Amino acid sequence: MKKYIIHPGYIVSKTDRQRHYIGVAQLIHLYRVNPKECIANADDFYKGYNQADYIHLYPRFDGDYTIKNERI
């Protein structure tokens, strides 16, 4: 069952102040979630997924990748 929607993107690191792209695979690793429980492609939203039913995972500049059950 899908639980998470992965949102890759850019962040400015708190430690080195550099801009970094955090991709889907890296976010899955950082959040320590099962890839089979993730939706990583925005096109999937058009296949009947209700975004409010999922936990959305984004890159974080502070490095805290603890899941806090944040839903949109």
For 3-59, the pLDDT digits (tens) are 998 999 999 987 788 999 999 999 999 999 999 999 886 655 656 677 788 899 999
Question: Would 29 be classed as within a structural domain?
Answer: yes
pLDDT of residue 47: 65
Which domain does 9 fall in, by range? 4-57
Using DSSP's 3-state secondary structure scheme, residue 52 falls into: helix
Question: Would 62 be classed as within a structural domain?
Answer: no
- The 10s digit of each residue's pLDDT in 44-54 is 565 667 778 88
In angstroms, the CA 50 to CA 28 distance is 20
Question: Would 35 be classed as within a structural domain?
Answer: yes
Domain count, the chain: 1
Q: C-alpha 24: how far from its chain's center?
A: 7
pLDDT of residue 69: 65
pTM of structure: 0.80
